[in-house]
């Protein structure tokens, strides 16, 4: 076990004893990583912060359910993903319509040439409709199977596959348009 894992384990044991200081330290140590997870599912930073707060509330209410199997950080990450999915379920209106305006394609870009920055990709993912964004994140980033996605989001496995394909197509189109715009700007 690494020193980080040891420290997390010590904090976790304090949290189980309901020690507020350990809860605050655990939050401080993990909040940046968990915020990154939540941002992939959220439309903006405010929504990501709400998801993360909901996730930490669920974490502290259900911490006794952790059985010590696998990574503690991985277990906490999964709670954040489930918090995002819960929020999605509450707000979802299961409409899978491509209702993108040209304004959706506007991205703030860094001046690093043709390199796609992680922040740019995150912004692209955040512009996807909720269903597309959730399926894309669950499959491409979290590693869920289409059957697991379908079960979790209340859709068929085929619909999960179709939604992922559409999300990827949209993202590829956004990247292509961004590259064309950059090439046009370089020619100016």
Residues 73 and 104 in one domain: no
State whether 101 and 170 are in the same domain. yes
Closest Cα partner for 75 from 9, 146, 148?
9
Q: Within this chain, do residues 68 and 109 fall inside the same structural domain, yes or no?
A: no
Cα separation, 128 vs 104, in Å, equals 9
Residues 41, 118, single domain; the answer is no
101 and 188, same structural domain?
Answer: yes
Residue 107's domain is classified under what CATH number?
1.10.10.10
Domain range for 104: 93-188
DSSP, collapsed to helix, strand or coil, labels residue 1 as: coil
Task: For residues 2 and 79, state if they share a domain.
Answer: yes
pTM of the model: 0.60
Shared domain for 50 and 40, answered yes or no, is: yes
Same domain, 83 and 12: yes
Q: What is the pLDDT of residue 7?
A: 87
Q: Say what the pLDDT of residue 32 is.
A: 94
The list of the chain residues with pLDDT below 70 reads 1, 91-116, 187-188
Nearest one of 44, 21, 10, 30 to 125, comparing CA atoms: 44
Instruction: Please state, in angstroms and rounded to a whole number, the distance separating the CA atoms of residues 56 and 141.
Output: 21
Same domain, 67 and 104: no
Token look-up 């269903």 returns 131
The residue among 91, 121, 154 that closes a domain is: 91
> What pLDDT sits at residue 109?
40
* CATH code for the domain in which residue 63 is found: 1.10.1740.10
Last residue of a domain, one of 63, 91, 119: 91
- State how many domains the chain has: 2
Q: Which of 101, 152, 150 is nearest to 127 (CA)?
A: 101
Domain stop point among 46, 72, 91: 91
pLDDT for res 175: 86
| Residue 188, pLDDT score | 63
């Amino acid at each position: 076990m690494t020193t980080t894992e040891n420290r997390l384990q010590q904090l976790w044991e304090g949290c189980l004893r309901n020690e507020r200081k350990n809860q605050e330290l655990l939050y401080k140590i993990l909040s940046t990583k968990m915020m990154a997870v939540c941002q992939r599912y959220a439309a903006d930073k405010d929504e990501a912060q709400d998801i993360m707060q909901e996730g930490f509330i669920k974490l502290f209410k259900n911490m006794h359910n952790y059985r010590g199997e696998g990574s503690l950080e991985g277990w906490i990450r999964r709670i954040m993903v489930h918090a995002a999915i819960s929020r999605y379920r509450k707000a979802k209106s299961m409409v899978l319509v491509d209702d993108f305006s040209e304004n959706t394609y506007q991205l703030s870009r860094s001046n690093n040439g043709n390199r796609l920055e992680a922040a740019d990709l995150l912004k692209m993912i955040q512009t996807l409709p909720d269903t597309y964004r959730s399926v894309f994140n669950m499959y491409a980033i979290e590693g869920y199977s289409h059957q697991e996605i379908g079960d979790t989001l209340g859709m068929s496995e085929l619909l999960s596959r179709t939604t992922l394909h559409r999300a990827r197509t949209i993202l590829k189109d956004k990247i292509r348009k961004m590259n064309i715009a950059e090439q046009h700007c370089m020619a100016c």
